[in-house]
Amino acid sequence: MVRLTVHLIAKLSNHSKTSRSESLQQYLKKLTHLNFSDKNIEDIDDLSICRNLTVLYLYDNHISQICNLGFASNLTHLYMQNNNISHIENLSSLKKLSKLFLGGNSITVVEGLEELKSLKELHVEGQRLPHGEKLVFDPRSISSISESLCILNISKNNIDEIWDLAPLIKMTHLFAAHNQLQDLQELETVFSQWSQLRLLDLSGNPACHKPKYRDRLITACKILEDLDGRQINEMSRQFLINWKASKKPKKKLGDPQISNPLATDFHTGPQHPHVHTSSLSKPSESGRPGVTFWTD
């Protein structure tokens, strides 16, 4: 079993060859970036001396439990995709964590995020789930990260409904491709609450084949720039919004709600600013860094 220890860090960093004037202890205290991806690691030892660590790469290993990271109060990026993790746990000390990558594990419940008030990105795509099961979300965790999370990747997890994600009102990017989402009304209702949503990928879901799928989501998401990999033309969006408004049944003159002309609402509603489409790309596993040891 390969265990990530300070001795292994020292050995692979060639510290003795490159930093003769600096002790190992001093070197480890200054370490900010640590890359031990694809090293057959199964367990994490006590690394508390690396207290200034901000970025930790541990993807493509055999780790079964998230542990011994309580010291990493300065950690902002944690990459643990493609391991053997089944539970999201022991993260409560990572108050500064902003990006968490856990795709390709065996997680069945998104939980244990209650203390991650700074989390902006969460990637839990492609979990190795038991046959017939789907990825589910703990409402406590979703509520806790609702004011910070902007990017969520839940693709390829057999998910068939997203009501539990409605509180994530800061969302700008949602990747939910190749799931089992099919209720278009549900999607409209949830996404209409995410006023900052700019990119949405639902490709490969049954809902994509429903009539007016694209039109309905474009009108529900007022500043959406990209839907399923296709950019949205602002002129087309305005046409759809105007067309939808024209289809609403007009009130009759005898309607008591407008019998008093002074009570009539003459506001035309919020104007939709022109949205400049930008180049938005899907998460990619390419360009992964090699073994690196960064210090300030």
Among positive and negative, which fits the CA dihedral 285, 200, 54, 109? negative
Q: If you search the block for the tokens 């902007």, which residue do you land on?
A: 150
Q: Mention every residue, 6+ apart, whose C-beta is less than 8 A from residue 14.
A: none
pTM over 0.85: no
Lowest mean pLDDT among 138-142, 151-155, 179-183, 290-294: 290-294
The CATH architecture of the domain made up of 32-246 is Alpha-Beta Horseshoe (3.80)
Statement: residue 97 has pLDDT above 70 = yes
The model's confidence at residue 237, banded by pLDDT at 50, 70 and 90, is confident
* Tokens (6 digits) for 139: 């409402």
* Tokens (6 digits) for 294: 């960064």
Alpha helix (H) ranges present in 52-200?
139-144, 184-191
Statement: residue 65 has pLDDT above 70 = yes
What is the structure's pLDDT at 17? 54
* Tokens (6 digits) for 296: 């300030």
Asked if residues 156 and 106 have their Cβ atoms less than 8 Å apart, the reply is: no
What is the structure's pLDDT at 94? 97
Alpha helix (H) ranges present in 79-233?
139-144, 184-191, 213-220
Separation of alpha carbons 48 and 29, rounded Å: 9
Separation of alpha carbons 277 and 225, rounded Å: 6
Separation of alpha carbons 96 and 77, rounded Å: 9
